[in-house]
Each structure stands twice: as C-alpha cells, then as structure tokens.
Amino acid sequence: MLGVLYASQYRAMRWEEEKTNDGVKWKQLEHKGPYFVPLYEPLPDDVQFYYDGKPLKLSLATEEIATFYAKMLDHEYTTKEIFQNNFFNDWRKEMTPQEQEIIKQLDKCDFREIHKYFVDKNEARKALSKEEKQKLKEEADKIQEEYGYCILDGHREKIGNFKTEPPGLFRGRGDHPKMGMLKKRIMPEDVIINCSKDSKIPEPPVGHKWKEVRFDNTVTWLASWTENIQNSLKYIMLNPSSKLKGEKDWQKFEVARKLKDVVHKIRAQYQADWKSKEMKKRQRAVALYFIDKLALRAGNEKEEGETADTVGCCSLRVEHIKLHSKLDGQEHVVEFDFLGKDSIRYYNKVSVEKPVFKNLQLFMKNKDPGDDLFDRLSTAVLNKHLQKLMNGLTAKVFRTYNASITLQEQLKALTNPEDSVAGKLLSYNRANRAVAILCNHQRSTPKTFEKSMQNLQTKIDAKKEQLEKAQQELEEAEDEFKDKKDAKAEANVQKKKKLLERLKEQLAKLNVQATDKEENKQIALGTSKLNYLDPRISIAWCKKFGVPIEKIFNKTQREKFAWAIDMTDEDFEF
C-alpha cells in the first residue's frame, strides 16, 4: 500500500465502524499517569485563625482543612447547617488531640483573616502584568503537553481530565446529605494505572508507589481511584475529541436512528398494553409513554440518605404527580412536580390519553404520598423489555431519539432560506431551544441578566433614533437631487441610502439578539447540543443554508464532532 493517503481517505478510515465485539477497546495505550495537584502551602505567619476571639496556631493538616472552609465563606453552602456539621465533624477527625480539646464549636471559629488572605491573593493574581500571566500560561501549557496526552493505538490523543481532583469540601447539588464533608487528597498510593504491557509504564512521583498497575484493554480508562465521599470510582479518560470517544458517540446516534424505524410499532404496543390484564405490563406501558412523550430519564433506584432525593420516571412517587380530570380547558391533565438529576425541578402539566389517566388513578389507589407510583417496575425490568423490542434499545435512547428528531423537524419548520445568516441562527437557536425545553435543561438566570437586557434595550432605542435621522437625511437628499439633478446630489442620495440600509440591518440584528436573549433566560442550550443532538443534523443544515459551521459549533464542539464534520453532506437525514 502507498505510504500516502488523501486526507479524505484517511478521515474515512479514521471513523470506520468498529468491528470487534469481543470487548477489546485498544491494542496499545501509553501515558504518563495523572498529574498530581501541588501539595498544601502553609499560610504566612501573619495570617491567623482565631478561636473564641484568640489567635490559635493550627497544625499543618488542620490548617489546610480550615482553608477549605475559609475559601468558601461567602458561598451559600457555608450557611447551611448540614454543610457546617459535616465539615466540622470531618475537620475534628483530622485535628491533633490538643486541637480537639480546644476547638469544640464551629461558631467560635473565626476564618475571616484566612478568607481575606485568599481573596487578596486572587486579586493579586488578576492584577499580574501581561508578561507574568504569559509565564503562568506557559507553565500550564507545559504540564498539559507532558501529562495531557496519551498514545492510543499509534495516535496521540488528548486526555479529558489528566489531573487528580484536589482536596476540598464536597459540594453536592441540591439537598445533599454529604455536603461539606472532607474530600481527601489523592496520593499515588490510591491510584490504579491502566496501560499496555509493552508500553513505557508511568513513573510514580519520587518516593511513591502506585496502588496497582494493570493491563486491561477491555476498558478505556487510563487511571482510577476511589473517592472517599461516596466510595465510588473516579477515572481518567480520553477527551471527547478522541477517536475512541468519537466512534462511541457516532454509535449512540446510529442506535437512536434505528429507533426511528421501529418507534411507531413500539408506540402502538405500549398503547395496547395500557389495557393489559397484568398490572406490571400496564405500569411498564405508562412509564414508557412518559419516557417517550416527555423525555423523562429512566430513574434508577438510589440508596436512601446517601444522595439528594431526586427521581426519574421509574422512581416517581405518588407525591410527584397530581391528577386533574379538567384543568384550564384540557381534559385528563397530569401535573408533574419533582426534582430530577442535579436537583433540577421538573414542573409540567400534560394532557394525557384517557387510559393513561385511568391507569394512574389505579396506580395511586390506596398508596401514601411517599410510595412508588410504579411499584411493579424497575429500570432493569423496563430495559430488559426494551432490549427485546430492538437491539441496543434502553430508556435513554428515547431521549436521544426525541431530541434529535425534534431538532430536525423544528429546523425544517423554522428556517427561512431568504433570511440573513443572523436570522437563520435565530431559527437554529429556537430549534435548539425546543429540544432543551423538552429535555428540561435549565440554568440559573445569569446574575447580570436584567441589567444586560436593559443595556441592550438602550442600544436598540439609540439605533432607532439613528435610523429615523438617517431616514430624514435621505428624504432631504432626494429633495435636493430633484432640485439640482447633478452628479454630486445623486451620489449623496446613494450614500444616504446605503447608510439607511446598514442601520436597518444593525437594528434587525439587535432585535434578534434581544429576542434570543429573553427566550434563553433560564434555558441551557449546551447540554442538548453536546449530548443529544446528532451533530450531522446541524452540519447538514449549515451546508444547506450557507451558514458557517463555526457559527453553531465552537472549537471544542467542532473537535468533539470531528467524526460528523468529516462525513456529513447537506442531504443527511436523521
């Protein structure tokens, strides 16, 4: 074979579908191991901790943990009782016996001086000169260069998270029972290295050993450790731009496209199952209907008291829905109100088919608010059923499928080929937004939202004024041309016309911006774009309507979707 390949051939080969199904993920894996975050640097002597109003010199380990709390002093977390208690408990465990003897109440601890020290330090860093900042950047780049890449089957690939997580206080989301607990420092002795046998095995930092070095090519991680809060594993894995991740991503969307072919049959079946004699089947059918229609997550069981109380479809409880025979002119309305992943609230009122409504009444009969709505159902049962309906089908495929098909339909409905690029982008964002709403992807309203909205309005008003003025000037110029009929006057008319056109465009652009911003207030578009929307739909749309891909995908996104950018033409259909 020739040593030279055309770029397109190379690309086609690079994304060629994986044939192996023996679970082997790679043949060669070489890397440097994780980068360990720097050790704790003690506070200067003039920065003091006070207990009960008196300065108290802390041992190194105790001081380090104190700084974790001090740094968070103006964060809402430190006002929460659970956070305070968990922190204080864990902190006391690390104290010397003498310190334990003295430090007995958190409210007698004064961290303010330590807090100020870190605030000042932060400011100082921000105020650094360009050259000094450049130097810091170069140092960071050097670390990235050395630890941030690995060799996988002959390709140099970027690693996603190559640094160990620094110690600190656990920041769980929502009402997390473990918030404030001490997240311990990861040492080489905690870390398992995974690489290929014949590769250069990473060296542990001097004076240290790895917990284990293994050669498992059926998994994709490079290193792992067990974190001490939930006692679960953490991994160092490849960046989404890597071939391995890209192929997996592609595969995910291919499974979702396969669902497109059978979804009608599946829908017909679960509708029929609403009337099944078996309670278990009815529950399965109603749950699947929710997952399909509302894009709910599967809802695995969680260990009580270990995490925030959140639910998905299969773990919904009676207290999470209300039934209304009639509401706001609609029949058979189900009102959902529960906390989902990341304790994000799901609130929705949906009019459902009568049999669904009847079934829900049945499922709720003689149950307490805290009882499971689908008591005969689990995600395992549901997924086992789905697996029989289509190879590779699980609950989450419905989210991917419905998100992608919605984008495709919305783009078709909303795009006007006559629009400017800005107008088309508004349509794109609206289509994206429809998906984000479906998937309930929310964000907290940016702190400066109201203000920046006002600023934009001021700009719009100013532009309107300019426009009116330009309009007048144009009329005057036209009058003058009627009088004089000379070349100079004609040129002036043309000039004013151009100006007017430009201002009109600018105003239109600002208006589009304002609409977009308002509609986006509490909705996060990024998550669906990155995880649920088949990028080929977006790329085909760009090509079809002459929108540069950079307008919808930033650098990171283009890297992640390199597989799709390489293979998609404007005719692609999901």
Single residue of 276, 307, 351, 466 touching DNA by CB under 7 A: 307
Q: What are 493's two structure tokens? A: 């008319």
- How many residues form the binding site for DNA (CB under 7 A)? 86
Single residue of 245, 317, 332, 536 touching DNA by CB under 7 A: 245
Which residues lie across from 349 on neighbouring strands? 335
Q: Which of residues 184-243 bind DNA (CB under 7 A)?
A: 216, 218-221, 224, 226-227, 229-233, 235, 237
280 binds DNA (CB under 7 A): no
Q: What are 501's two structure tokens? A: 């056109």
Single residue of 33, 34, 204, 299 touching DNA by CB under 7 A: 299
Q: Which of residues 422-481 bind DNA (CB under 7 A)?
A: 439-444, 446, 448, 451-452, 455-456, 459
528 binds DNA (CB under 7 A): yes
Shortest separation between residue 135's beta carbon and DNA, angstroms: 12
Q: Which of residues 129-168 bind DNA (CB under 7 A)?
A: 133, 137, 140, 160-161, 163, 165-166, 168
Shortest separation between residue 11's beta carbon and DNA, angstroms: 21
Single residue of 499, 514, 524, 549 touching DNA by CB under 7 A: 524
SS3 234: strand
SS3 107: helix
Q: What are 19's two structure tokens? A: 């044939």
In Å, how far are 10, 439, 473, 502 from 497, measured between CA atoms? 51, 46, 9, 9
State the DSSP H helix or E strand holding residue 212, giving kind and residue range, or none if neither.
Answer: strand 212-214
Distance CA 229, CA 172 (A): 10
Q: Which of residues 324-343 bind DNA (CB under 7 A)?
A: 340-343
Q: Which is nearer to DNA, 56 or 344 (CB)?
A: 344
303 binds DNA (CB under 7 A): yes
- Choices 109-117, 355-363, 486-494, 522-530 (CB under 7 A): range interacting with DNA: 522-530
Q: Which of residues 397-416 bind DNA (CB under 7 A)?
A: 397, 399-400
Q: Which is nearer to DNA, 429 or 568 (CB)?
A: 429
Q: Which is nearer to DNA, 246 or 355 (CB)?
A: 246
Distance CA 553, CA 574 (A): 19
Q: What are 498's two structure tokens? A: 């151009």
Positive or negative, the CA dihedral 46, 50, 56, 57 is negative
Please state the separation of Cα 538 from the chain's center in Å.
19
Name every residue whose Cβ is closer than 8 Å to that of residue 546 and which is 6 or more positions away in sequence: 421
Give the x-and-dash track for 360-399 against DNA (CB under 7 A).
Answer: -------------------xx--x---x------xxxx-x
**Residue 532 bears catalytic tag:** yes
For 298-324, give the secondary structure using H, E and C: CCCCCCCCCCCCCCCCCCCEHHHEEEE
Residues catalogued as catalytic? 532
